[in-house]
Structure 1
Amino acid sequence: MRLINAMLLSLFVLSCSTGPKPIYYGQDACVFCKMTIVDKQHAAQLVTKTGKAFKYDAIECMLNDLKEWEHPEVQHYLVADYANPGVLTDASGAAYLISQEIPSPMGEFLTAFESEDKRNETVQDVSGTALDWKALKVEFEVN
């Protein structure tokens, strides 16, 4: 009985986590455009302070959703790290690149990198506009 109670308690604690939730590529749908999330290099996720996760197939979907955000306060803004497909990183500390040479799912050519160094390595191979989180929010007119 103790084992069952411990397992139930663990399940309850894990289900109440306010951290990122796994994105099931090829199964989960973007909450903004409703497309199936398949691109591990451009996905994004918001997690509210209550732990509800909102998953996106592209960073631009997340930004466009934020323009009219009527959900609970956001705890985590997360974006896929282009250099590490499937790995989410903190959006506010990420480095961004808008490059016609790197297509994104919704056609904005927007890509995120965990660090400026990783973005700068990519910029050596492609042209584009480098942005930080603050400049990106201005670009997409997000408060």
Structure 2
Amino acid sequence: MKKYLVISTLVLFLFSACFNQEPKEINLHTDECTYCKMVVSDRQFASQLVSDKGKSYPFDSIECMAAYAYQTPDLADKAKLYVADFTQPVQWLLLDNADIYRAESVQSPMGLSLFALPGQETMPPEIADAEQMGWDEIINFVVEQWDVKQ
């Protein structure tokens, strides 16, 4: 019985390691956006959803991730959402720890001008027209702008 318990615990531990919700590396100019199918080409605007099973869904913009989250709420509610740090694009930010902005002076790949900075980060001086938006507000904005259907 003790042997069975040890083996069961080990198997559960190994399976839980398979379901890691950490962000994965996105391969620029190779990986395809899950929502719009364009190739991810600008790391500053990349984002990804990592499911509760550990599967990564890459996006070429925050806009695409918002539209996908709107269309797949069951998946998105259990997932971890990550956005690239606009000023240090190799850094992934958990959406809960990021501030999302919209600024016409910033041109994101899908045209809605959304970008992310770490929470409480100072805005780069060259971006004077930034407006901070919450996640629900972003989803509503994208759905309205793109007429996204559920």
TM-score of the pair, normalised by structure 2: 0.74
Q: Do 2:105 and 2:127's aligned partners in 1 also have CA atoms closer than 8 Å?
A: no
Unaligned residue ranges in structure 1 (runs of 5+): 1-10
Higher helix share: 2
Give the number of equivalent residue pairs. 131
Unaligned residue ranges in structure 2 (runs of 5+): 1-13, 144-150
Using a 3 Å threshold, how does the CA distance of structure 1 residues 66 and 15 change in structure 2: closer, same or farther?
Answer: same
Q: What pairs up with 1:29-40 in 2 under 5 angstroms?
A: 29-40=32-43
Distance 1:107 1:53, change over 3 A: same
C-alpha change, 1:125 and 1:54, in structure 2 (3 Å) is closer
The structure 1 residue matched to 2:121, chosen from 105, 112, 117, is 117
Deviation (angstroms), 1:13: 7.5
Counterparts of 1:103 and 1:89, CA distance in 2: 20
1:22 aligns with 2:30: no
Distance apart, 1:63 and its partner CA:
0.2
Q: Report the CA distance between 1:50 and its aligned residue.
A: 0.7
Identity rate, percent: 27
Query: Highest CA radius of gyration, 1 or 2?
Result: 2
Deviation at 1:94, TM superposition (A): 0.9
Distance 2:100 2:29 in 1: 25
* 1:41 aligned counterpart, secondary structure: helix
- What secondary structure sits across from 2:132 in the alignment? strand
Which one of 101, 105, 128 corresponds to residue 105 of structure 2? 101
Whole-angstrom distance in 1 between the partners of 2:33 and 2:74? 16
Give the Cα separation in 2 of the matches to 1:101 and 1:60: 16
**CA RMSD across the alignment:** 2.5
